[in-house]
Amino acid sequence: HWYSISESLIFTLAGLFLGGMVFVVTAGDQDLHDAFIRELEFDEGLFVLILLPIIIYESSYTLLKRFFFRQLGKILLFAILGTLMSTLVVGFGLCGFMSAGFIPEMQWAEAFAFGAVISAIDPVATLSVFRSLQVDPWLNGLVYGESVMNDAASIVMYRAFCTFITKKASLESAFAGIGIFFWVMFGSTMIGMFVACGGAYVLKYMALPHNDTRTQAVIIFLVSYISFQMAELAELSGIVGSLVCGFVGKHFMHRNLRSQAARTFTLDFMGLLACLSESYIFLIVGINVAINREESINFPFIMCTLLLCLLGRGLNIGLLSGVINAFQSSGRPDGLPWKIPRNYQLVMFHAGLRGAIAYALVLEFPSQHRNLLLSCTSWIIMITLVCLGCSTPFMLKKMNVPTGKSTSGDEKVSSAVPLEAPTSMKRFVDKLDSVFVDERLSNLNTHIDQRDLEPTQSLEMSPYKSSSGSLDSNRHSGGVVNPLMDSEQLRSDSGKSGLAPTTDGNTSSP
């Protein structure tokens, strides 16, 4: 097909339908209409305290380490410098349109703060198509990694520009804004690392049976909220704190889970919660578009902002890809060059959808123009979902992007530094492992299986296949992994049958 309807678009359209029903049901009764509007208004506390932490934490916890760390320089360049470029394009562009009288007047600081908000990309629909078509994992990792780190950059830049809304701009305040940027990044990172290491320490010494998958999953689930709330209480960034906590937690906490069943259940459990949270947000976005009051909808402002978003994204991807290609020479492990070809650049530009994070930031926008910006953000989210998200298969086909590429076996090392790191760094990581990781689980940690990396994979990628390729009926019932079967049972059963377990969970002849 040339199009794809993602679950995020389905929930947005469902929200539009519900919002439209409000006008039909309450036609002619203003009091009833206002009562419905109050009931349907988005609860900011629910979003910030309940939904947002698990979305951010899950995105970093389930990241494919190999494709992320080997492209870390590119990802940080696009996420930090690229987000700054997009923010400046939107900010200066809005100021220019205001001077020309095309859009309502607002402070320059508001324009740049909103530029940071709307620069937060959320290509959930694109990545869903990437997974289903098994797009080149290096491109998938680059787009996914950029979207994860872009969230952190957007929130920090937004907070920095917000300081100028209430303060008069000066050289001193400019340096103060830069200082806030680095302090928020550093402080939030330290809190995320501290909470993740604390959770790993608890899991290491807590007396838990191997088959108690739910308790282990709940502990990791709670850690995501602890890191977010601690950073917010310290007036830092809960998003950055959760993001870092997910990165560190995947290496230390995940390797302290007692069995493969616990690891699989934890990933699936967090994936389910994150999916439910994002679905609810897109539902609210659709409702918000439908029930917005006419005075808060300004289509010239929406179209100008959308145009600037596309321009900023294009400059970001085009210029930074040119810089990267000018300095890249060595090849990838699959023989292809590290350079970003033109067709990949166009796909990355096409992946610049807006979503949950942009909506989250604009909800707390400190300005009297909040309703205008909220309406604009909702419309841009919906437009990018429809125009960019649905046309992803068509774009991949036209750009001749390789598909059908499996990521099986891409994480055969358990090190937190899966690329060629200096010996001193490896020694440092090994020392941390000895402190925070249970050495009794070393056999289970030798090889992280594919389902541990991508919980959305089908059972054809399951580590519980027999040597003949068929699924073991003792471990599957109706296509569902038995959560009580752990690695010890797997080794025991393999020994009884005369088959030796391999590192990837398959069995072979002695």
Please tell me whether residue 448 adopts helix, strand or coil conformation: coil
**Rounded Cα distance, 165 and 112, in Å:** 10
At 139-158, the pLDDT tens digits run 888 888 888 888 888 888 88
At 505 the pLDDT is 42
- Whether the pTM exceeds 0.75: the reply is no
Closest C-alpha among 427, 412, 110, 448 to residue 257 = 448
Would you say 259 and 213 are in contact if contact means Cβ atoms under 8 Å apart? yes
At 3 the pLDDT is 60
Helix (H) or strand (E) segment spanning residue 109: helix 108-118
At 482 the pLDDT is 39
Helix (H) or strand (E) segment spanning residue 187: helix 171-205
At 111 the pLDDT is 92
Closest C-alpha among 323, 344, 151, 351 to residue 240 = 151
pLDDT beneath 50: ranges in the chain: 408-421, 447-510
At 119-137, the pLDDT tens digits run 988 866 677 777 777 788 8
Beta bridge partners of 507: 501
Burial of 329 (0-12, 13-18, 19+ CB in 10 A): exposed
The 10 Å Cβ neighbour count of residue 135 is 22
Helix (H) or strand (E) segment spanning residue 36: helix 30-40
Provide the terminal-to-terminal Cα distance of the chain, rounded to the nearest Å. Answer: 47
Closest C-alpha among 228, 4, 252, 286 to residue 124 = 4
At 266 the pLDDT is 87
Please tell me whether residue 366 adopts helix, strand or coil conformation: coil
At 152 the pLDDT is 80
At 332 the pLDDT is 58
**Rounded Cα distance, 359 and 55, in Å:** 13
The two structure tokens encoding residue 399: 């750009």
